[in-house]
Every structure is written in structure tokens, then in C-alpha cells.
Amino acid sequence: MIRVARALVVREFIERTRDRWVLVISVLFALLAAGVSLYARGADTHAAYLAGPSLVTLTSLLVPLVALILGHDAIAGERERNTLGLLLSLPISKLNIVVAKFLGRLVALATAIGVGLGVAVLIAPAAERGILLQLFIPTLLLGAAFLAAGLVISASVTRLATATSLVVACWFVFVFFYDLGLLALLVGTDGAIGDAWIARLVELNPVGLYRMEMIATFAGPAMFQDLGIDMASIQGAGLVLRWSLAILIPLGLSGLLLSLRKVER
């Protein structure tokens, strides 16, 4: 079973590296990251403290979209090509199939993120590269959360076109409309809901959790303490728990959906 799962992970990774979309996104991300880093280097300030927040904004917009698109055809694509039945005939559980597809595509996503951030780090001054390197793991976790969400969408539909529409809608909701909804909630309640509750709701969105973690990295926890927000939930074990739930819950749901749906063999 382990050998089959490993072979499936490798197959997924190789297929993603041959995908023109992944290559285009890797090059685009590298170019944008390089532009941000060059601009920050030419500014009259510490490059890392200008490039870092700019890269956070860039990655919080681009990485979720790339991850969703990487995951949207994992199951729906197999179903549409009539190869899902053959895949399910392998001596491996359906949950393990989902996990193997997730891991193979995650390695491809990590490669794209590594190329983009790597270019930015190389351009940055040597003394400040370590600060920018702190972006990699949180950015990868952000991508993993949305990749898992893409797998849920892929496992819940039968047509690839439907999955494509849903991942685009999902991207708009979590990247743009979610924060607008919280702002409307805060205004609608005339601030009665409180900043602490708004912060907890922000953390439920992987994009919000990522931004808060990076703000704490670059600006320090004092910014949140001034707002009366407890930082314990986005530090240490609390942070690990939130990222784990954001990734593992969609993965488990994907395996469950794949088990419940009928497949023509």
C-alpha cells in the first residue's frame, strides 16, 4: 500500500510539473516577487521590512488561487476522463488516494512558491534574507489549506467546468468578500461585537490567519496587544492547531465525499 501511495504521489507531482499553468504561475510569481524586492531594495529603508509586507499581500492574493486551481481537477478530472474507476481499483483506500494526490500537488506548489520567494530572497541584501525566508513555511501552509479546499470542491462535483467555477468563486469569497463581510458586521453592530471577536472570525479564514501571522512577524505582537487582541491563538501550539485543522478537515471531507459518491468502473 505504501509503495502504491508513493507512486501516486510521484505521478501527481510529475503531471503537475508538466502542466503549463504551473510553469506560467511559477514564472509570474518569480517576476512579481523580484519586482517587489528590487523596489524595496531601492527604497530608503530596510528592504526586508518593505518587501516582506508587500510579498505577504502578493502571496495572499496569488497563492490561494494557484492552490485552488491545482486541486480542482484532482478528482473531477479523473471522473470526467473516466479514469477514476481505474484509480479506485488500486490496493489503497480512498482517503489515501486523496492524501497522495494532495501531497503530490503540494510538492509542485511548494516548488512554485520556492522559486518565487527564492528570487526575492536572492535579490534582497544578504543581511535581510533571513527575514524574507520566514515567509516560506506560512505561505506553504496557506497554499496547503486552499489546495485541500480545492480537493473538496473536486470531490463534490462531477464536471470539471463546475469545479473551475466553484474554485474561482471560493477564491473571491475568502480573499475579498470575507473581510468585507466582517467589516459590514462590525459596522452593522456599531462596534458592539468587539475587536477580539472580529479577530477570532478573521482567524477562521486561512488568508486572515496568514496575514495575522505575518503582521506579528514583521510588526511584532505589540500591534495586536494595543488593540486588545490575545496573541496566544496565533502563536505556538495555537497556531499549529489552526493550520492543522484548516488542512486536515478538508482532506478528511474529500475522502468522505469520494467514498459516498458512486463511480462507474
φ, ψ dihedrals at 124, nearest 5°: -65, 155
**What is the pLDDT, as a whole number, of residue 195?**
66
Contacts of 194 (CB under 8 A, 6+ apart): none
pLDDT for 154 equals 94
How confident is the model at residue 49, as a pLDDT? 60
User: Grid coordinates standing for 173?
Assistant: 469569497
* Structural contact between residues 116 and 32, judged by C-beta atoms closer than 8 angstroms: yes
> How far is the C-alpha of 211 from the C-alpha of 215, rounded, in Å?
6
**CB-CB contact of 171 with 66 (8 Å):** no
- What pLDDT sits at residue 100? 92
pLDDT score at 115: 83
Number of Cα atoms under 13 Å in the Cβ half of residue 188: 7
At residue 167, the pLDDT reads 94
Could you state, in order of their start, the residue ranges of all structural domains in the chain? 2-171+247-260
- Spatial neighbors of 186 by CB under 8 A, at least 6 apart, are 193, 198
pLDDT along the chain (265 residues), means of 10: 82 81 76 73 58 79 91 88 81 88 93 83 73 85 96 92 94 92 81 72 89 78 60 71 93 90 60
Return the pLDDT at 164. 92
Q: Report which of 179, 184, 226, 180 is spatially closest to residue 207, judged by C-alpha positions.
A: 179
* pTM of the predicted structure, to 2 decimals: 0.89
